[in-house]
Amino acid sequence: MLYHILAVGDVVMEPGLEHLERHLRSLKKLKKIDFTVVNGENASGVGLTQEQAWRIYDAGADAVTLGNHTFGKMQIRSLLDEAPWLLRPANYTGRAPGRGCGVFDLGAVRIRVVNLIGRCDLAWGTENPFTTADALLRADKADFTLVDFHAEATSEKLAMGYYLDGRVSALWGTHTHVPTADERVMPKGTGYLTDLGMTGSVESVLGIRPEQSVESFLGGLPGRYQSPEGPCKMQGAVFTLDSATGLCTAVERVDIR
């Protein structure tokens, strides 16, 4: 039987949240989506509040993944321990609250979601994401395994794609907020995309006001991040998975304006 999995790129600030709330349910209906994963670590710009996490969940996410800004808003800490649908990178050390892997029972199938973070130019103080993935895949059986690899370097994401090819159902990248055009089924059957893109303002630099980004590159003080007014986008991908094999048969990018 075929299942459709929707992965949505990093939701950035209030415009991203509102756009998600406005469009996620209709997209799920249109694409006959069985399970949805949304990256929410930028809902506050840097981090997310408990209220914002719940807004993403209530908008239709089955799992919310995070990344390098997991603890940008420290109040998220208790929800990380309480909400099984909220995942932070699994290769954070054991001192971090919360969990990086969740198993979701859909009745006919069990879906495992793994959140990992890259170490190239991003999170140096974490465990090795490759060997962390090995350990997680050994730990628990599921029909499908989905991986959100929150990483800066395209090389690290591609290498992880090849490393887990045939061992997970789908693997996508988040964090860079710019979608890549390399959606594919890898040689051993894993659905792959280097980066999903983002959910937020179109006329922005990764979701924030361009003037602020330019100011920081000029060497000035950009100030507190602000999101621009104007049109938004919701970017991500739909992975078609086959329960007979646990692998992927098709990947389609989506971009909802």
Instruction: Please list the active-site residues.
Output: 69
Closest contact distance (angstroms) between CB of 106 and Fe ion is: 28
Q: Tell me phi and psi for residue 46, to 5 degrees.
A: -115, 100
Closest contact distance (angstroms) between CB of 143 and Fe ion is: 29
Residue 67 vs 236, nearer CB to Fe ion: 67
Residue 14 vs 165, nearer CB to Fe ion: 14
| Stretch of residues binding Fe ion (CB under 5 A), selected from 44-52, 60-68, 101-109, 181-189 | 60-68
Q: CA-to-CA distance for 58 and 64, rounded, in angstroms? A: 11
User: Which residue type sits at 104?
Assistant: F
Q: Does 89 bind Fe ion (CB under 5 A)?
A: no
Q: Which helix (H) or strand (E) holds 111?
A: strand 110-117
Q: Does 100 bind Fe ion (CB under 5 A)?
A: no
Contact 100, 115 (CB under 8 A): yes
CA neighbor of 36 nearest in space, from 56, 62, 58:
62
| Stretch of residues binding Fe ion (CB under 5 A), selected from 64-72, 75-83, 160-168, 190-198 | 64-72
- Beta-strand pair 86-87/63-65: parallel
- Find the binder of Fe ion among 44, 52, 65, 68 (CB under 5 A): 68
Tell me the chain's radius of gyration from C-alpha atoms.
Answer: 17
DSSP assignment letter at 165: B
Residue 68 vs 199, nearer CB to Fe ion: 68
Residue identified by tokens 């602000």 is 226
DSSP assignment letter at 48: -
Closest contact distance (angstroms) between CB of 115 and Fe ion is: 11
Q: CA-to-CA distance for 146 and 8, rounded, in angstroms? A: 13
| Stretch of residues binding Fe ion (CB under 5 A), selected from 63-71, 99-107, 184-192, 215-223 | 63-71
Residue 41 vs 62, nearer CB to Fe ion: 41
| Stretch of residues binding Fe ion (CB under 5 A), selected from 68-76, 81-89, 93-101, 204-212 | 68-76
Residue 66 vs 185, nearer CB to Fe ion: 66
Q: Which residues contact 247 (CB under 8 A, 6 or more apart)?
A: 166, 169, 185, 188, 189, 190, 191, 241
Closest contact distance (angstroms) between CB of 13 and Fe ion is: 13
* Maximum pairwise Cα distance, the chain: 56
User: According to CB under 5 A, which residues from 168 to 197 bind Fe ion?
Assistant: 175
How many residues bind to Fe ion according to rule CB under 5 A?
Answer: 3
Closest contact distance (angstroms) between CB of 117 and Fe ion is: 8
Q: Does 67 bind Fe ion (CB under 5 A)?
A: yes
Question: Which residues form the interface with Fe ion (CB under 5 A)?
Answer: 67-68, 175
